[in-house]
Amino acid sequence: MGECAALDVLQDGRAHDYLSIEHIRRRLSTERVGTRIHLFTEVGSTNETLRRLADAGAIEGTVVLAESQTAGRGRLGKRWFSPACLNLYVSVLFRPLIESSAVPVFSFVASLAVSDALDPYGVTPRLKWPNDVLLGDRKVSGTLVAFAMKRGLVDYVILGVGVNLNVDAVTLRTALGPLGAGATSLSEAAGLPVDRNVFAAHFLNYLESRTDEYRARGPHAILARWRRRDGMVGRLVEIREPRSAYRGIARGVSDRGRLLVQTLGGAQREVASAEIVVIERE
């Protein structure tokens, strides 16, 4: 992975870290997550690479990391900006004994693990339903959950997580256009470069803790934690569905993990899937 350090020195005169399985392992305290770690210089999408490994029988806890993605994917068919050597693009395989209706909670598990890993940097991560982690009002991380079925049960769940760690604001704005103003990175928010190996290890450690908690105490424990970090309650949001849009006040998440919205007419709705745009405070 020497390519990354060389690239960064050329770009801005600073030597950033490069991802290293050995550096990550040194800080791992897990029993399952990270038993196998695959690190690539470039892939289309870490989720897609891990899906192929899972179909070939990869074990629970298998991790795929990449320095860059050429076809990084986000929710609702969006792309995920994945420049080389700056951020974290990671996918983790789970083989839980659950039904498909229970899969969405894994997205909450991932957002919580990202938030836990962000805390030590002196920032205050907030969550935006269903899968965003925000610093201030800007998105720093997103999660893409994929799953496969076998004989009526979930065969595996893939948690794909992107975290903007060292990408700067100018690069985000240049790459994402107007949407770039709604994105940030940990280094922008914390004012210091981030060691990606340290962050990756902390994230994986927390991911195992949160999945253990889910197994031991069920989805309600995860939802309770998620609610404590919910940054949307009381805010005016626009719910954009494929064929219509409406506004309302975000009222938290239901026990089924859906977004509760009080429409401007006063009705309470539960949103299962939509794009949520924050308009302003209540």
Question: Which residues lie near ligand BTN (CB under 6 A)?
Answer: 45-47, 69, 72-75, 78, 80, 89-91, 131-132, 142-144, 160-162
Of all residues in this chain, which one has the CB nearest to ligand BTN in the complex? 142
Residue 143, beta-bridge partner list: 161
Residue bearing tokens 């993605």: 69
The nearest distance, CB 42 to ligand BTN, in angstroms, is 12
Answer whether 183's CB lies under 8 Å from 175's CB: no
The nearest distance, CB 266 to ligand BTN, in angstroms, is 31
Residue 262, beta-bridge partner list: 249, 268
The nearest distance, CB 267 to ligand BTN, in angstroms, is 28
What is the DSSP annotation of 268-281? Answer: EEEESS-EEEEEEE
- Paired tokens of 205: 């450690």
Q: Give whichever of 146 and 249 is closer to ligand BTN, judged by the CB atom.
A: 146
Q: Give whichever of 111 and 249 is closer to ligand BTN, judged by the CB atom.
A: 111
The nearest distance, CB 250 to ligand BTN, in angstroms, is 18
Q: Give whichever of 109 and 249 is closer to ligand BTN, judged by the CB atom.
A: 109
Answer whether 141's CB lies under 8 Å from 203's CB: no
Answer whether 235's CB lies under 8 Å from 268's CB: no
Q: Give whichever of 82 and 211 is closer to ligand BTN, judged by the CB atom.
A: 82
C-alpha–C-alpha distance, residues 63 and 72, integer Å: 16
Q: How open is the CA angle 175-173-88, to the nearest 5 degrees?
A: 65
Q: Are strands 63-69 and 37-43 parallel, antiparallel or unpaired?
A: parallel
The nearest distance, CB 89 to ligand BTN, in angstroms, is 4
Q: Give whichever of 80 and 106 is closer to ligand BTN, judged by the CB atom.
A: 80
